[in-house]
Structure 1
Amino acid sequence: MRSTILAAVSAAVLLVAVVLPAEYGVDPTGIGRVLRMTEMGEIKQQLAAEAAADAAAAPAAPAQADSAVGMATANAAQPSAPAPAPVAVVAAPKVEWRDEMPVTLTPGEGTEIKLKMVEGGKAQYQWVVEGGQVNFDTHGDAPGKSISYEKGRGVAADEGVLEAAFTGNHGWYWRNRGQANVKVILRTRGEYTDIKQMK
């Protein structure tokens, strides 16, 4: 047992004595190259040399700039940095809506606006509430058919694309559950033939 421990300690001392210098680029026995420690040491030495060269190349002040003529010569020899190019700001394309319908809702009041669409037709929409929030139901109906696309409570705005699941009327129902009047503004465009507020 004692001989095993001594052998392990001797091997560790030998490894430190032989391998560690290889990490710094010195490998007299060649074992460092076998263990790839020499390569690591060479890379470290190369990086250190490059850093030293970069530091030496960055002049703190021109040595020959003792006179006005010397300074002018030194400045003329150095190319001036080009001015940064102006950054072009691309404005988001403005959506041109086909229809815009504002509706004022008193507390507790509801209203419905529907688009007449054929199956698979798509209508882009955006609605916002001024002065509060509303509950809403996006749905569609036709003789013998109905569908609810989305519902929400206490919502101040929504936007997206409404795709008709079948030929018929598709649109929104809003109800003001607040204590003050609100104004719902619906904007639409796309594949529909008619838009109307239901009574």
Structure 2
Amino acid sequence: MQPTVSNKSLLKATIIALVISAIALVTIILPSEYNIDPTGIGEKLGLTVLSQSQTEENSETMTEQSSDTNAQSKVIEVTVPAGRGIEYKFDMEKYSKLKYEWMTDGQSLYFDLHGEPEGDTTGYFESYVIATNAEMKGSFTAPFAGSHGWYWKNNSDQDVAIQLIVEGEFEVIGLKQ
């Protein structure tokens, strides 16, 4: 003989399942997926961190797709004379971003990617990358308003051509004498 389930017990089980799923929705799913945490439990359990990383990724994607009036792209050709160094700079606001790629005609150059704070008269600068290479690709966010760019030094006895490709929020200063 099989036990039969009454309508009353079926209704009771359905209500309990609905209450448990509502609690899971409010305390786990909303905080971790959508950063909505009405009870504060999601933050205490560390679940809101998951949604924040998704939100950051989504906002980065949306930023890349949006038409920002300050964002621009440029391809710049510069030549570093034999035995000399040059600086090429961009004026950038604090927290503005720059994606870059540069390559030489094959010759490695010493370089220093750095920034100088706006209005500073002490000669202070902050280096982001110092190396010797024939090419480099990357991005950075300006930690302060001011001029940011490269110093390239050519230790060879022949001129070296550089192609610099930049995309981001900047104003070209150009060669700095």
1:102 aligns with 2:81: no
Q: Find the aligned partners of 1:178 and 1:108 in 2 and give their Cα distance.
A: 6
Point out 4+ residue stretches in structure 1 off by more than 4 angstroms.
Answer: none
Deviation digits for residues 130-155 of structure 1, max 9, x if unmatched?
041100000000233521101012x1
Correspondence for 2:131: 152
CA deviation after TM superposition for structure 1 residue 193, in Å: 2.7
Q: CA offsets, 1:92-122, max 9 Å, x none?
A: xxxxx71111112222111111111111110
Counterpart-to-counterpart distance in 2, 1:118 and 1:102? 24
1:194 is matched with 172
Counterpart of 1:169, as a letter, is: S
**In the alignment, what sits opposite 2:143?**
165
CA distance in 1, matches of 2:134, 2:108: 5
Please give the secondary structure, in 1, of the residue aligned with 2:125.
strand
Q: Specify the SS of the correspondent of 1:132.
A: coil
Q: Cα distance, 1:175 vs. partner?
A: 0.8
Unaligned runs of 5+ in 1: 1-96
- Could you tell me which of 118, 123, 134 is aligned with 2:98? 123
Q: How does the TM-score come out when normalised to structure 2?
A: 0.54
Contact 1:131 1:181 in 2 (8 A): no
Output the CA distance in 1 between the equivalents of 2:88 and 2:130: 15
RMSD value over aligned CA atoms?
A: 1.5
Q: Give identity over the alignment, percent.
A: 32
Q: 1:137-186 CA deviation, whole Å, 9 max, x = no partner?
A: 00000233521101012x10001002101000001010111122210111
One-letter amino acid of the counterpart of residue 128, structure 2 = Y
Q: What is the CA–CA distance in structure 2 between the aligned matches of 1:182 and 1:164, rounded to whole Å?
A: 28
Give the letter aligned to residue 125 of structure 1: Y
Q: Deviations over 1:23-60 (max 9, x none)?
A: xxxxxxxxxxxxxxxxxxxxxxxxxxxxxxxxxxxxxx
Q: Distance between the aligned counterparts of 1:133 and 1:182, measured in 2?
A: 9
Aligned twin of 1:112: 87
Aligned counterpart in structure 2 of residue 138 of structure 1, from 101, 110, 113: 113
* Bigger strand share: 2
**CA displacement 1:63-102 (0-9 Å, x = unmatched):** xxxxxxxxxxxxxxxxxxxxxxxxxxxxxxxxxx711111
Q: Max radius of gyration: which structure? A: 1
Task: Give the secondary-structure state (helix, strand or coil) at the position aligned to 1:98.
Answer: strand
Is 1:179 aligned to residue 157 of structure 2?
yes
Q: TM-score, normalised by structure 1?
A: 0.48
Q: Retained in 2: the 8 A contact 1:133–1:178?
A: no
Question: Larger RCO: Structure 1 or Structure 2 (Cα < 8 Å, ≥ 6 residues apart)?
Answer: 2
Task: Name the count of aligned residue pairs.
Answer: 102
